[in-house]
Structure 1
Amino acid sequence: MALWSGRFEEGAAPVTQEFGASLPVDKALYRQDIAGSKAHAAMLAAQGIISKEDAAAIRDGLEGIEEDITAGKLVFDIADEDIHMAVESELTRRVGEAGARLHTGRSRNDQAVTDTRLAAKALAKRLMHANLGLRCALLDAAAEAGDTVLPGMTHLQHAQPVLFAHHLLAYVWMLTRDFARMRAAFDAADASPLGAAALAGTSYPLDRHMTAEELGFAQVIENSLDAVSDRDFLLDLEYACAVCAMHLSRLGEEIVLWSSQEFGFITLSDAFSTGSSIMPQKKNPDFAELIRGKCGRVVGDLVQLLVTMKGLPLAYNKDMQEDKEGALDAARTVEQSLTVMAGMVSTWTVNADRMRAAMDRGHLAATDVADYLVKHGMPFREAHAVVGHLVLEAEKRSCDISELPIEVFKAASDLFGRDITRALDLDAIVAARTTEGGTAPAAVEAQFRRARARYLVDESSMALLSAVIDF
């Protein structure tokens, strides 16, 4: 019998029971639901709304239910519809009338979003922890890279030489921004809706600050309508996940390319590779590909919730039952992806010789040759055209621009001298990029120190968050 059945003369159609149930999804939030119920019962007793004896019976009953669910001893019944009704029904069976008093002064509307906010906080913390793991792996890889160089690319074409450490640090900074978004999602979820009831508050003298403090929330939500209808915090979490998944997908794509025979820049460890069921020679970057592929579902989770929320009037609507599945999926998917990516990065072998050999293709010195002419007085656009003709000549000779005879340079412009050879030296080209954020070794070393310092700040903030109770 449904808890709301008093108003109805007949039961719901059988087909609607499974269709309308959220239990298959929100049963994952049983710890949060039980924590919220324990806090609510303690507050009701403190306010004299229920007896201390009833509150004690409720607490003991809920603790027993949690133990049984965790041990797999309690089987859920789809007829209970959701985790809230499942727990309350079981509680009433165990402790009698005291259990029936638990729902005094609250609604499933504020109860459900309380559970969801507690879960969102815990998920955000897990994501931040996994984020730090990958950043640490990338920082270590950047430190180990030393003066290893590779062709920097645009449009997947050789462009200019860069330090491999510089390339890796670009992903460190992406993940640093991801951490900030994950922390913002935690903060957005860190407000208690409990006590808002269905939409208008309640006539019972509830102490919302007591339950908020008991559950580890930083504050209470000011408006009861907003409290039960807001899912911005989940959108923040899913957006943080979607952007992070996109960054991981980009790195995954580079790993797929770098580990191919055509590139050969890295060799993945056997632990993070797979073989073929038919071709014995294969060593596939399946996990990098899978991370790349999972980005689509995480972005889809975000879009689903945006579309669900876009046309909803205040306050609660049944559509909002669809809020949790995508958020749980997105957070768990990204957490796993971060962990797997950290494993790949920390165990790969960097083939510096292959990276160096690739520098001989693509005329990587072309921009510096143009800059040489500019420094000798030629306007850049004119210099660009001159060097373009030199590249064309090199292509006709099937060589790199750096291999052209000095006579060819002099024929192109009388501004060229024999010191052009320095502009053709790829290590010198890298060393010349000394602007802040550039790829010169000294600039990269300074950048590394800043990235490492930011990592340590975020690591310290996680240590403080670890003191926040997870439910």
Structure 2
Amino acid sequence: MWGGRFSGGPSAVMREINASIPFDKRLWRQDIRASKVHVAMLAAQGIVSEEDAATIREGLGRIAAEYEADGVPENFDLEDIHMTVEARLTELIGPVAGRLHTARSRNDQVATDFRLWVREACEEMEAGLAAFQRALLARAEEHTDTVMPGFTHLQAAQPVTLGHHMMAYYEMAKRDRSRFADARARAAECPLGSAALAGTSFDLDRDRTAGELGFAHPTANSLDAVSDRDFALDYLMAATTASLHLSRLAEEFVIWASQPFGFVKLSDAYSTGSSIMPQKRNPDAAELVRGHAGRIAGCMQALVMVMKGLPLAYAKDTQDDKPPVFEAHDLLALSIAAMTGMVETSDFRRERMRDLAAGGHSTATDFADWLVRAIGLPFREAHHLTGAAVKLAEEKGCDISELDDASLRGLDPRLAEAQLPDLSVEGSVASRMSYGGTAPARVREAIARARKELDQ
């Protein structure tokens, strides 16, 4: 490729460290697509003949068919997917293949290919997250009235509904989808035509190239275009946040499936056994999703470190941009699929969740709120009086919701004639009617809004 300048070949070590074909072969579809658009533009501008352009496009089509059927060959001497395609094109159509690289460099070529791939990956993640949202909605609708403990500090706090809990993850996935959409939108600039770093003296139609490749417009600065990897960082940061959300749900499934909790039984499809303990049902899929989040965050950090000190324009360090993105993409796609499957197939234990929701004095706040509303106490005084009620319940060996009327009225003379509140968990969740609250009526409204969002 650069034999005119070099009289000797690279060492074996240089040959191996310099080759990116083992991982950038993944860009072959984008490379061939961009090459077809590029050569068509060259012909339209009179830079190459229509006959040569047609020959090149036909050859690229044959290469695409070969790669689709047999995969991309790995020849380290050709270094990367771009030279691998060009070398095969030369074998198929002869010297005319050399016209394809007119007015472009591998610098703007790889930036274009990688942007195309990342934009498609954003669409793929959005679709996967939408399926995850639909699974959450289905279970939320099924369990709109199912009462479970709500926790803070992993301590029973207030009763909520399982439907409300599922919808919390729907909202997280909604934000994740918006991040991928934003990343895709910011990647909608086409570097092709920037050449090595300074642009080119050929009369290109960059607007045509950008439009045919699905970009909004060409990049505005050739130096920035060939060295920018913000689009890859945007993707990795969106992937990291999404993986953290999935990991949080995975952690809850691990906890819920444990015997002390017993909130859920995971299906056989997403569980494994033990090589020594025949009774075991391990939540390995959830644990692996939890582990994947660390690897995805590591991929993001890896590219941050690659890019942190690079001067303009292109540097070979940038060849290390693709492995972390590809790895994070594969892990996230698998994690989304696994969590979607777990949500769809898990057996939630309503009675167990309701029993634990009723413990731990979880409706104490309802009593305090009632004291404010019905008796007119300042909240801090109501808080203190409710604490006394909890203490009394503990002395009697029961929950605050199980205290009889006489015990409650004896706490304060102002309660003597009052109509005491319903401190059951069902009454508690039904009362949480503020917008975004856990009341089943509010959860149904949230589900209806969500379905409309997904349909749109």
**Deviates most, 240-249 or 203-212:** 203-212
TM-score when normalising by structure 2 = 0.96
* Counterpart among 123, 126, 129 of residue 125 in structure 1: 123
**Deviates most, 364-373 or 194-203:** 364-373
Q: CA deviation at 1:220?
A: 1.1
* Structure 1 gaps, min length 5: 458-471
The answer on whether the counterparts of 2:367 and 2:421 sit within 8 Å (CA) in structure 1 is no
Kindly tell me: are residues 412 and 317 of structure 1, through their superposed partners in 2, closer, same or farther at Cα, counting changes over 3 Å?
same
Cα distance in 1, alignment partners of residues 130 and 216 from structure 2: 24
2:178 corresponds to: 180
Per-residue Cα deviation, 1:102-135 (whole angstroms, up to 9, x for no partner): 1111000000011001101111111111111110
**Secondary structure of 1:71's aligned partner:** helix
Q: CA deviation at 1:74?
A: 5.4
1:231 corresponds to: 229
The answer on whether the counterparts of 1:26 and 1:83 sit within 8 Å (CA) in structure 2 is yes
* Counterpart among 335, 338, 348 of residue 337 in structure 1: 335
**Deviates most, 437-446 or 7-16:** 7-16
User: Any residues of structure 2 matched to 1:11-410 within 5 Å, and which?
Assistant: 11-72=9-70, 75-375=73-373, 376-410=375-409
Q: CA deviation at 1:418?
A: 6.8
**Deviates most, 175-184 or 367-376:** 367-376
Q: CA deviation at 1:4?
A: 2.4
**Secondary structure of 1:169's aligned partner:** helix
**Deviates most, 254-263 or 400-409:** 400-409
Cα distance in 2, alignment partners of residues 419 and 132 from structure 1: 50
* Structure 2 gaps, min length 5: none
The answer on whether the counterparts of 2:150 and 2:357 sit within 8 Å (CA) in structure 1 is no
Q: Which amino acid aligns with 1:300?
A: G
Q: Which amino acid aligns with 2:284?
A: D
Cα distance in 2, alignment partners of residues 216 and 290 from structure 1: 36
Per-residue Cα deviation, 1:430-461 (whole angstroms, up to 9, x for no partner): 1111111111122222222122222222xxxx
**Secondary structure of 1:415's aligned partner:** helix
Q: Which amino acid aligns with 1:201?
A: G
Q: CA deviation at 1:423?
A: 4.1
Cα distance in 1, alignment partners of residues 96 and 209 from structure 2: 19
The answer on whether the counterparts of 2:186 and 2:231 sit within 8 Å (CA) in structure 1 is yes
2:430 corresponds to: 431
1:454 corresponds to: 453
Q: Which amino acid aligns with 2:286?
A: A
Kindly tell me: are residues 222 and 266 of structure 1, through their superposed partners in 2, closer, same or farther at Cα, counting changes over 3 Å?
same
Kindly tell me: are residues 294 and 74 of structure 1, through their superposed partners in 2, closer, same or farther at Cα, counting changes over 3 Å?
closer
The answer on whether the counterparts of 1:252 and 1:292 sit within 8 Å (CA) in structure 2 is yes
The answer on whether the counterparts of 1:272 and 1:287 sit within 8 Å (CA) in structure 2 is yes
* Number of aligned residue pairs: 455
**Deviates most, 46-55 or 287-296:** 46-55
Cα distance in 1, alignment partners of residues 82 and 329 from structure 2: 22
Per-residue Cα deviation, 1:117-163 (whole angstroms, up to 9, x for no partner): 11011111111111111100110111111311111111111101111
Per-residue Cα deviation, 1:377-408 (whole angstroms, up to 9, x for no partner): 32222222222233233334332122234444
Say yes or no: does 1:445 pair with 2:444.
yes
Cα distance in 2, alignment partners of residues 180 and 26 from structure 1: 28
* RMSD over aligned Cα atoms: 1.6
Cα distance in 2, alignment partners of residues 184 and 455 from structure 1: 17
Q: Which amino acid aligns with 1:305?
A: L
The answer on whether the counterparts of 1:58 and 1:98 sit within 8 Å (CA) in structure 2 is yes
TM-score when normalising by structure 1 = 0.93
Q: Which amino acid aligns with 2:421?
A: R
**Secondary structure of 2:274's aligned partner:** coil
Q: CA deviation at 1:422?
A: 2.2
